[in-house]
Structure 1
């Protein structure tokens, strides 16, 4: 962060014209005081991060770039900056990369699109990512390798086998269920009161929750919940040992 309180954001995209567009939107955002450094390759971006005279508060990166991808770039960033917020701003479908981005410890993911809505969302996600209270623990994220996606109707659109297995179901049994069926009633109330408002406000929630298995038993889970651009929810969980 600069001495005047403004944020320093490093944006990486091999499309230089798109980088200019992102820089314009972010620097003109009335509720985000920031300076953008745009680079067209991860190698050049890493040089910026290695410069001792340069402070960077947040990295925003594309996913697919020549010779590499955003996940490989993230791993290189983590070697020297393990707690630096790292957001993917990419055209990849979230369904296709959800498990990968969660396992890698990406702070947040926003899908590119047309119009200004995606840039408004990007501004909100950057604000949340650089807020110390909302910063995602990269070490914890490596354990969150079970992923589900919930539609706007509160029913699961898709889950991976690991997600279903935590609750003693097969994936086909979970898809179509309401998320509320995988939690006891008191936990459902907690999620509606404390988790969803954070997520619907443009942030992400991480913490512990209580899961409900098919046989009625419960377990403690570590959980991440974030909203996707189409109003669906991305949920990543792992069981916490007693």
Structure 2
């Protein structure tokens, strides 16, 4: 966590995992099983949270596995310290102090996974699988965010509007360029229904199409390019060209729309000729 943010520091199969537990034996066993049961090649162990925090200041890790009941600072307090510096670093609470209250509190504070210690070596097989899962999920999310950032930058460069939309057809994100296309400022659209920028006669067919897609996962129109009318803030209709995409984030299915005002696009094309 040298730069204070999450980054995947290793190639697949060479992930670095920090194990924090006040029991040296558990640290050693956890490290041993992780390396035997997965392709993780580097595990680092610490028996004191303060030492773990010092190490995090100077080194990068792909995940943390931490006990809960430790002297000086418990696992949830440790999680808070990590989240303050690196909100996306995978953190697994591996504890013998299992309770619904601790699990609920850990989830509310942003833990990646929660696993209660049990007798037998089977628990380490489960822990190994969970560790690889949270690392791979973080990797996918990191790559997805980079792709979205690049798409948004490209859209803004060419004056396109870029929207992220939920399965319930709510606008979750919009680039500032939506004002050029729809006449709304960015904060006026975020949190509103996509119907806000669609002529009323298309509302029913749009909602029906969303319902069918959620049920069948079958596309009934082209996502590569479709031309349809949009509704400007002042009430007039605008011809649009739209490219759709979809992705998953934190278990939620989201859609992207890159929107072009065809009138403006036509003008730019004529000026360039």
TM-score normalised by L of structure 1:
0.53
- Number of corresponding residues: 142
User: Could you tell me how far 1:79 is from its partner in structure 2?
Assistant: 1.9
User: Could you tell me how far 1:18 is from its partner in structure 2?
Assistant: 1.2
Q: Aligned match of 2:53 in 40, 43, 46?
A: 46
The structure showing larger relative contact order (alpha-carbon pairs under 8 Å, at least 6 residues apart) is 1
Contact 1:85 / 1:136 at 8 angstroms: preserved in 2?
no
Q: Which has the larger radius of gyration?
A: 2
Q: Aligned match of 2:34 in 13, 26, 32?
A: 26
Closer/same/farther in 2, CA of residues 48 and 33 from structure 1, 3 Å limit: same
Contact 1:32 / 1:123 at 8 angstroms: preserved in 2?
no
1:97-117: CA deviations, max 9, x gaps?
A: 122011111000111011111
Indicate the SS of the match to 2:107: helix
User: Could you tell me how far 1:66 is from its partner in structure 2?
Assistant: 0.6
Q: Aligned match of 2:71 in 66, 70, 80?
A: 66
Q: Aligned match of 1:10 in 18, 28, 39?
A: 18
Higher helix content, 1 or 2:
2
Q: Aligned match of 1:77 in 74, 82, 91?
A: 82
Q: Does 1:123 align with 2:128?
A: yes
**Distance in structure 1 (CA, Å) of the matches to 2:118 and 2:130:** 16
Q: Does 1:36 align with 2:80?
A: no
The gaps in structure 1 that reach 5 residues or longer are: 138-185, 191-204, 210-242
Contact 2:13 / 2:39 at 8 angstroms: preserved in 1?
no
Closer/same/farther in 2, CA of residues 104 and 135 from structure 1, 3 Å limit: farther
Please provide the CA RMSD for this pair: 2.7
**Distance in structure 2 (CA, Å) of the matches to 1:68 and 1:86:** 16
**Distance in structure 2 (CA, Å) of the matches to 1:134 and 1:125:** 14
**Distance in structure 2 (CA, Å) of the matches to 1:134 and 1:3:** 10
**Distance in structure 2 (CA, Å) of the matches to 1:58 and 1:136:** 14
1:29-48: CA deviations, max 9, x gaps?
A: 1x333311000011111111
**Distance in structure 1 (CA, Å) of the matches to 2:119 and 2:80:** 29
**Distance in structure 2 (CA, Å) of the matches to 1:136 and 1:12:** 25
Contact 1:9 / 1:57 at 8 angstroms: preserved in 2?
yes
The corresponding residue for 1:207 is 251
Indicate the SS of the match to 2:19: strand
Closer/same/farther in 2, CA of residues 136 and 70 from structure 1, 3 Å limit: farther
Indicate the SS of the match to 2:114: strand
**Distance in structure 1 (CA, Å) of the matches to 2:105 and 2:86:** 20
User: Could you tell me how far 1:65 is from its partner in structure 2?
Assistant: 0.4
